[in-house]
Amino acid sequence: MTFPDEKFTSPGDFADAYYQRLATAAASVDRARLAAASDIIEDTYRRKNTLYVCGNGGSAAISGTFVCDHSKLVQTDTDLTARVVSLADNISMITAISNDLSYDDIFLYQLQTLANAGDALLTISASGDSENVVRAIAWAKENDLPVIAFTGFEGGRSAKMADVNLHVDSDNYGVVEDTHQSLMHILAQYIRLKQMSPELITQRKF
């Protein structure tokens, strides 16, 4: 059965049920895979290569926030250069590719244009089956870019294709996307913390 599968008598009751599902979803993320994803991202930043991020809808918004939190936050008080590009943020390019070629190629075409050896790709897709995301992963794999995939529901093709799959065990889009957003923050803050002294950490806001 999916969540929700019944009416609720108040927003507070629904919030209690939602947050319970959110806690369960967060606990379902494999911690060893989270560590592997962190290593790929930190290594990409340390080599001054670029991390490309993409997704549709709410996942596109998370991609944009990924740029802000990682490019700005990770570089603060560290020696890392966090180069992050959201392939979902260039509306002129996206509409041109969609109009002239196919919406399925909006991320693939940009990767072909921008990506270099040593770069990495992180995809965000609740279903894991968005065709434009899958095509980007396929190209990245063919060109030796490591791939991290945030997924939910059944994981889809993204879960099987990625080098590291951070899967959220939930069948509710809001719960999956909230957990993906949390993972984005966790990765940014942990990578920053790792570079800082204990004394400095106590003096900073995160």
**And the tokens for 200?**
């400095």
Rg (CA), the chain: 18
Range of the domain at 141: 31-203
pLDDT tens digits for the chain (206 residues)? 689 999 999 999 999 999 999 999 999 999 999 999 999 999 999 999 999 999 999 999 999 999 999 999 999 999 999 999 999 999 999 999 999 999 999 999 999 999 999 999 999 999 999 999 999 999 999 999 999 999 999 999 999 999 999 999 999 999 999 999 999 999 999 999 999 999 999 999 89
Confidence at residue 74, expressed as pLDDT on a 0 to 100 scale: 93
Whether the CB-CB separation of 136 and 119 falls below 8 Å is answered with no
Whether residue 183 is contained in a domain is answered as yes
Confidence at residue 1, expressed as pLDDT on a 0 to 100 scale: 66
Number of domains in the chain: 1
Confidence at residue 103, expressed as pLDDT on a 0 to 100 scale: 98
Q: How many residues does the chain have?
A: 206
Q: Cα–Cα distance between 26 and 1 in angstroms, integer?
A: 19
Whether residue 21 is contained in a domain is answered as no
Whether residue 13 is contained in a domain is answered as no
Whether residue 185 is contained in a domain is answered as yes
Contacts of residue 20, defined as CB under 8 A and 6 or more positions apart, other chains included, come to: none
Confidence at residue 56, expressed as pLDDT on a 0 to 100 scale: 98
Whether the CB-CB separation of 56 and 103 falls below 8 Å is answered with no
Whether residue 83 is contained in a domain is answered as yes
Contacts of residue 83, defined as CB under 8 A and 6 or more positions apart, other chains included, come to: 45, 48, 49, 50, 51, 71
- Provide the CATH number for the domain around residue 149: 3.40.50.10490
Whether residue 2 is contained in a domain is answered as no
Distances (CA, A) of 179 to 23, 24, 46, 148, 199: 9, 10, 26, 15, 30
Query: Is the omega angle on the peptide bond into residue 198 within 30 degrees of 0, that is, cis?
Result: no
Whether residue 26 is contained in a domain is answered as no
Whether residue 7 is contained in a domain is answered as no
